[in-house]
Amino acid sequence: MNQVFSLKRWGNLMRRHYLENKRSFLFGILCLLAAITITIGFGLWTGHGLNENGLINIYLIGLFLVGAVFASSSFDALQKKERGIAYLTLPASHFEKLLTQIVYNLIFFTIVYTFCFYVMSELFIVSAKHLAAIDPDHYSYRPIEWNEPDSIRDSFWYFLYVFFGVQALFIAGSIYFKRFSFLLTTCLLVVFVFFLMQYFMLLEAHYWRDLNLYFHESALRTLGAGPTKVYALPKGLAFGLKWILLLGWAPALWLVSWFRLREKEI
């Protein structure tokens, strides 16, 4: 028998996880629908109209926030001794347990959240169009202009790639922290982002200040009285580094989570 992964054993674990949490999933979906209704409906009902660009922003904020809360509860069973012992002694490998949480937190959650948001937003879009046609002085509707410069289209998918990494971080946090995993992981994320921003600010202040530099398509240019100098990575290397930085965080954090789960003791 394969000690790392068995499709049949993993399928049984997936089914067990669903049966144990189906009521929580249903309650979560109802709360999600209510939250989406209140958030989108507030602007429409107060007479501010509906802007589809704003809907995309609400979608992304909710995706990150609700997804982080959901992911931080992935290994709640490890927070209590009795449940933790029962969970760790389940007839499944640590890889299968981690894979189950990844599937439910990343794939299942994203699909359900997107479906709920799409259904509710479409209902509000129909209402907004109807109200704007009847009373254009008090209601308005503005669709997304995908072809506009600097539209959300250019950055939407990058936000989704970052979301994968954030989800992986909160799954890892649910293993590392016995209590208050959401708050502690959030603090860790804020500290990391803060120091990362400080690092780039120091680079700009001490190394780039007198060079008047700017980035464009993986190129570093110096502008001054003399000739312009351009420092650029090869296209293949720049392409590879770009996607490693965008997508590499999630697999790295999953690997860290797997090693930590293997060493976990109650």
- What is the Cα–Cα distance from 19 to 10, expressed in whole angstroms? 14
For residue 130, tell me if it sits in a domain: yes
95 inside domain: yes
Under 8 Å between Cβ of 47 and 94: no
| Burial classification of residue 67, based on how many CB atoms lie within 10 Å of its CB (0-12 exposed, 13-18 middle, 19 or more buried) | buried
Please, are residues 140 and 50 in contact by the beta-carbon 8 Å criterion? yes
Rounded CA separation 104/101 (Å): 5
21 located within any domain: yes
- pLDDT per residue as tens digits for the range 132-187: 888 777 777 777 766 665 566 667 888 888 999 999 999 999 999 988 999 999 99
Whole-number Å distance between alpha carbons of 39 and 48: 13
Q: Determine which helix (DSSP H) or strand (DSSP E) holds 141, and give its type and residue range.
A: strand 141-142
CA distances from 241 to 155, 248, 253 (A): 18, 10, 18
- Contacts with 112 (C-beta within 8 Å, 6 or more apart), sequence order: 29, 32
**Is the per-residue pLDDT at 230 higher than 80?**
no
Question: Cα–Cα distance between 33 and 38 in angstroms, integer?
Answer: 9
Up-side HSE of residue 123: CA atoms within 13 Å toward CB?
A: 11
pLDDT of residue 210: 45
**Which of the four pLDDT bands, split at 50, 70 and 90, describes residue 229?**
low
Are 177 and 188 contacting, i.e. CB atoms less than 8 angstroms apart?
no
DSSP per-residue letters across 185-226: HHHHHHHHHHHHHHHHHHHIIIIITTTTEEEETTEEEE-SSS
Q: What's the structural domain count of the chain? A: 1
211's tokens:
């060079």
The verdict on residue 243 lying in a domain is yes
Give the chain's radius of gyration (CA, Å): 23
Nearest Cα residue to 261 out of 128, 77, 135: 77
Report the distance separating Cα 5 and Cα 135, nearest Å. 60
When the pLDDT of each residue in the chain is averaged and rounded to a whole number, the result is 83
What is the structure's pLDDT at 223? 53
Place of tokens 């965008």: 246
| Cα-to-chain-centroid distance, residue 147 | 25
Give the range of the structural domain holding residue 40, as residue numbers without chain letter. Answer: 7-263
Low-confidence winner among 55-64, 85-94, 219-228 (lowest mean pLDDT): 219-228
Residue 1 lies in a domain: no
Question: What average pLDDT does range 209-220 have in this prediction?
Answer: 47
Residue count of the chain:
266
> Could you report the per-residue pLDDT of 34-83, keeping only the tens digit for each?
999 998 888 777 666 677 778 888 899 999 999 999 999 999 888 888 88
The yes-or-no verdict on residue 130 having pLDDT over 60 is yes
For tokens 């697999």, the residue is 251
pLDDT at residue 228 in the model:
58
What is the spatial distance between Cα 140 and Cα 159, in angstroms, rounded to a whole number?
Answer: 28
Which stretches does DSSP call E strand in 49-91? 50-51
* Percent of the chain topping pLDDT 90: 45
Q: Percentage of residues in the chain with pLDDT exceeding 70?
A: 81
Most confident of 126-130, 172-176, 232-236: 172-176
Would residue 2 count as lying in a domain?
no
Structure pTM? 0.84
